[in-house]
Chains A and B, each alone.
Chain A
């Protein structure tokens, strides 16, 4: 099946610094990618929809200036957590739909996730 890869898998940073997480579709082109956030023992929460060549669409309550999303190419979307604070510590997961998949179906492929710890 299609592969989505995230990097880094783990990152520890000091409070106030910015951290960039990359999401790549390895064997397909994704015009749309999705970014999720997951706290321990909680479900995935959709943060934003990343659209290639245009601005991301953020879910209600997600600060767009805090979580910068760039989707500059058909295989790469990046999430930058700006001026990170301890409350931003979480598991961040991206996903994308393979456009070659069966038409009108919803199978999403997820990255391995990136665990951010802000000290």
Chain B
């Protein structure tokens, strides 16, 4: 399982764009990159997933360089409600393979 490294914490203000980078130097060919968001006392919630290049959905964008050794989650115009822990996971769960969580990044958004 590929190990991931993220900043422990980040601070931002409402309306700003936030970019959280995750390093995963030993990512395998079959591995996908998935980001989850977790609020206190709740289960994690899926944000976005990608394999290479750029993926965008209604809440975020995910940038993955060609070597796939890192990825960046981009949250446009954050609000106070985006204050949460963001986890980067790397792996392949086809067939029920497990995913393990790293330390995550605590994002704090202020007014």
Contacts and interface: CB of A to CB of B under 8 A. Distances in A.
A108 interface: yes
Interface residues of B, number: 25
Main SS of the interface on chain B? Answer: loop
B96 A32 contact: yes
A105 B45 CA distance: 16
B28 interface: no
Nearest to A91: B41
B46 A103 contact: no
Contacts of A34: 98-99
Residue with the highest number of chain B CB atoms closer than 10 Å, among A44, A51, A106: A106
Nearest to A95: B43
A25 interface: no
A1 B98 CA distance: 20
A107 B43 contact: no
Contact of A106 (B43, B92, B101): B92
A13 interface: no
A19 to B, nearest CB: 17
Nearest to B106: A41
A9 to B, nearest CB: 9
B34 interface: yes
Given A44-B101, A104-B30, A110 B43 contact: yes
Nearest to A114: B43
A31 interface: yes
6 closest A-B pairs by beta carbon, nearest first, are A110-B43, A32-B96, A106-B93, A44-B101, A43-B101, A104-B94
A115 B36 CA distance: 20
